[in-house]
A and B are shown apart, each in its own frame.
Chain A
Amino acid sequence: DAGVIQSPRHEVTEMGQEVTLRCKPISGHNSLFWYRQTMMRGLELLIYFNNNVPIDDSGMPEDRFSAKMPNASFSTLKIQPSEPRDSAVYFCASLPGSYNSPLHFGNGTRLTVT
């Protein structure tokens, strides 16, 4: 299994630009999570989906952030417009339907907004 695949690995953009991060979960996993990691705030849950449906988006910082999961094998996290304070590492993780399983993380996208 290829694991959770995220792209791009690194993204550098200017303030005000739109940024789209992509995630392909492990095949057969039915839950998908987006996390943001910074030195100051640690790991923050932004949103999670179950069977492609957003269940909890209370962690999305503001309206500039949006996430979609159009099918079981693909999700996007979009920031529009981006700001320097959005600079962080964004992780996607997936979870199988079986109980008591750990999250499987992707390699993350390091976003730098200048």
Chain B
Amino acid sequence: ELKVEQNPLFLSMQEGKNYTIYCNYSTTSDRLYWYRQDPGKSLESLFVLLSNGAVKQEGRLMASLDTKARLSTLHITAAVHDLSATYFCAVDTGNQFYFGTGTSLTVIP
């Protein structure tokens, strides 16, 4: 059974600080996605990573993919309160998407 593990599960960080969320998965795949979910809302696509070494950046968020290590990271730079949300990674094995457990991020002023 494919496993997608994120850590940490909960993250409380101060504004202005940097941190990284990790996503490990247990099968071969070169397609990985990051989503954001605000409380009570739907999931919004953030990044699409399609090959080994792929790096995408949007504002204070940067995502990368290492398919050999089966690892993706979501790096937060100089966090701001608006980034408070739950972040999910999802592995695509060919029209099946397996989601990680989610990382609940709280940015404290």
- A residues with a Cβ closer than 8 A to B are 31, 33, 35, 42-43, 45, 48, 50, 55-56, 91, 93, 95, 100-108
Q: Do A56 and B96 touch across chains, with their CB atoms under 8 A apart?
A: yes
By secondary structure, the B interface counts as strand
Measured as residues with beta carbon below 8 angstroms from the partner, the interface class of chain B is 20 to 34
Q: Do B96 and A48 touch across chains, with their CB atoms under 8 A apart?
A: yes
Contacts of A45 in B (CB 8 A): 96-98
| Chain A residue at minimum C-beta to C-beta distance from B97 | A103
Q: How long is the Cα–Cα vector from A55 to B94 in the complex, in angstroms?
A: 12
Q: Do B95 and A103 touch across chains, with their CB atoms under 8 A apart?
A: no
Contacts of A106 in B (CB 8 A): 42
Q: Do B50 and A95 touch across chains, with their CB atoms under 8 A apart?
A: no
Contacts of A108 in B (CB 8 A): 42
Q: Do A103 and B45 touch across chains, with their CB atoms under 8 A apart?
A: yes
Q: Do B95 and A42 touch across chains, with their CB atoms under 8 A apart?
A: no
Contacts of B97 in A (CB 8 A): 33, 45, 103
Could you name 8 residue pairs across A and B whose Cβ atoms are closer than 8 Å?
A42-B101, A100-B31, A102-B35, A103-B33, A103-B43, A103-B97, A105-B44, A107-B42
When A48-B95, A56-B96 are in contact, do A91 and B101 touch as well, CB less than 8 Å?
no
Q: Is B25 an interface residue (CB 8 A)?
A: no
Q: How long is the Cα–Cα vector from A35 to B33 in the complex, in angstroms?
A: 16
When A42-B99, A95-B95 are in contact, do A103 and B48 touch as well, CB less than 8 Å?
no
Contacts of A104 in B (CB 8 A): 45
| Chain B residue at minimum C-beta to C-beta distance from A43 | B99
Q: Do B95 and A50 touch across chains, with their CB atoms under 8 A apart?
A: yes
Q: Do B42 and A42 touch across chains, with their CB atoms under 8 A apart?
A: no
